[in-house]
Amino acid sequence: MRLDYRIEAPVALDVSLELTGFCVLLGLSGAGKSTLLKAVAGLLPGQGMPYGGLPPERRPVGYLPQGYALFPHLRVWENVAFARRGSRAERRAAALALLERVQLADLAERWPSALSGGQQQRVALARALARDPELLLLDEPTSALDASTRDQVLGELIELIDAQEIPTLAVTHDPQVAALADRMAILSRGRIVQQGIPHEVFGAPSSVAAARLVGYANLFEGHVLRRGAEVVEVGVGHRHLSCLIESEAPMSVRVMLALRADAIDVTENGDRNAAPDRQYLNARILRARNDGLGLRLYCDADMDAPLEIRLAHKTRWHASLRAGDSVVLNFPYAALRLLPAD
322: pLDDT strictly greater than 60: yes
- 2-208 and 265-332 in the same fold: no
- Which of 153-157, 249-253, 303-307, 325-329 has the weakest average pLDDT? 249-253
Q: Which of 232, 224, 173 is nearest to 341 (CA)?
A: 224
What is the average per-residue pLDDT within 142-154? 76
Give per-residue pLDDT as tens, 243-298. Answer: 887 655 555 588 999 999 999 999 987 666 667 788 999 999 999 998 777 899 99
What is the average per-residue pLDDT within 26-41? 94
Write down the pLDDT at residue 247: 55
Give per-residue pLDDT as tens, 199-218. Answer: 999 999 999 999 999 999 99
User: Phi/psi of residue 2, each to 5°?
Assistant: -110, 140
Class of 2-208 per CATH?
alpha beta
CB distance 11 to 32 below 8 Å:
yes
Domain residue extents for the chain: 2-208, 218-259, 265-332
Alpha helix positions (H), the chain? 33-41, 76-81, 88-101, 117-129, 147-164, 175-178, 198-203, 208-213, 316-319
User: Phi/psi of residue 249, each to 5°?
Assistant: -60, 125
pLDDT band with cut points at 50, 70 and 90 for residue 138: very high
H or E element, residue 189:
none
Give dist(CA 68, CA 139) in Å, integer: 9
Write down the pLDDT at residue 215: 92
Give dist(CA 55, CA 157) in Å, integer: 28
Write down the pLDDT at residue 146: 73
CB distance 62 to 137 below 8 Å:
yes
What's the chain's Rg over C-alpha atoms? 24
94: pLDDT strictly greater than 60: yes
Q: How many residues does the chain have?
A: 342
Give per-residue pLDDT as tens, 218-249. Answer: 999 999 888 887 888 899 988 999 888 765 55
CATH number of 265-332: 2.40.50
Write down the pLDDT at residue 302: 93
Cβ-based neighbour number of residue 21 at 10 Å: 14
Give dist(CA 247, CA 253) in Å, integer: 12
